[in-house]
Copies of this chain bind each other. A is one copy, B any other.
Amino acid sequence: MEERTEISSLGEFGLIDFLTKNFEIQNVSTIESIGDDCAVIDHYGKQTVITTDLLLEGVHFDLMYTPLKHLGYKSIIVNLSDVYAMKAIPTQVTLSLGISNKFSVEALTEFYEGVYAACQRYNVDLVGGDTSMSQKGFVISVTAIGEVAPDKFVKRNTAQKGDLICLSGEVGGAFLGLTLLEREKRIYLENPKIQPDLEGEDYIVGRILKPEARRDIIDFFDKNEITPTAMMDVSDGVSSEVMHICKDSNVGCRIYEDKLPINEKAREAAMKFALDPTVCALDGGEDYELLFTLKQEDYEKITLNEEISVIGYITEIEEGCKLISRGGNLHDIKPQGWNAFNY
């Protein structure tokens, strides 16, 4: 029989001690960590960036097909991704949880294993949080802190006419993974005897359940002295983020359909679901890739990196935001907007 320890048997502080005892501090800037009213962070001669994300059960994740360890990992990643999107280096995170009593200590331990794995991999310290009872659903709130040399951060509203629009990695896979998991869930709910069929779908399932943040791209920028003119991470979808950069920067854009980096596995999955891979890539979201703009003279530098695709360019605002289809036709790019309120 699987072990089950009731959370109430540990008490709040006992629980926090139990869950966080293996965290070792990785950053010299972490002066004080978990265990007081606040953590203390030293950022002499650096600027601090801060970002926060809320993940709610039934809105942002479904525990029916999300392993808790993956969920813990992803909760950290989505925040680190925002820090990298400023061209900053994440250093600390705080984690607040609202947990229902259906959770056991073992379940929470699994969640923290994921948190721990992400913190280890990205060299960040978990420095505090708040744990409380939730009547309804699992609530996860993460805040990430990062540091950057003075005024070296990259914003969204600074793209300029003529800049190249670039994207790291591949897009669309996370949305297709989610589509698959939702389909398998429906089938299972209709007939619990049918086991989920995820064979050969590791790529798209991995994209939705265990995304990574693109630290490697920021390291590449640093090594090659590249400074994007504007940058964002892709959480709501490429079209939504492109529109965001364009609106905030007061510019327009052209995106080439045939330049969108889509993995072959994602294309196959799209076919299977009778979905347009381009739409999945543009509107899918949750890929946590970096979307950035670059001065044309830096083009040579990025050709060194196969993980970066040039997908279009920035225009005057009057030219609007358009997709150039494979056939050469122009289509308006429409922001999917407010995804958090849609799924």
Q: Please list the residues of chain A having a beta carbon within 8 angstroms of any beta carbon in chain B.
A: 7-8, 11-13, 31-32, 35-45, 47-54, 56, 58-60, 82-83, 85-86, 88, 92, 94, 96-98, 127-137, 139, 141, 143-146, 148, 150-151, 153, 155-157, 231-233, 244, 248, 337-338, 340-341
Give the distance in Å from the alpha carbon of A157 to the alpha carbon of B32 in the complex: 12
Whether A56 pairs with B134 at a CB distance below 8 angstroms is: yes
Is B12 in contact with A337, judged by CB distance below 8 angstroms? Answer: yes
> Which one, B41, B83, B150, contacts A50 given CB within 8 A?
B41
Please, could you name 6 A-B residue pairs with CB atoms under 8 Å apart, sorted by A?
A: A35-B157, A37-B83, A37-B86, A50-B143, A54-B130, A98-B139
A261 → B minimal CB distance (Å): 21
Chain B minimum-CB-distance residue to A96: B54
Flag if A60 contacts B143 (CB, 8 Å). no
The answer to whether A38 and B50 touch (CB under 8 A), given A141-B141, A341-B133, is yes
A52 → B minimal CB distance (Å)? 4
From B7, B94, B151, contact of A143 by CB (8 A): B94
Q: Which of B59, B86, B129 is in CB contact (< 8 Å) with A132?
A: B59
Q: Which residues of B contact A96 (CB under 8 A)?
A: 52-54, 141
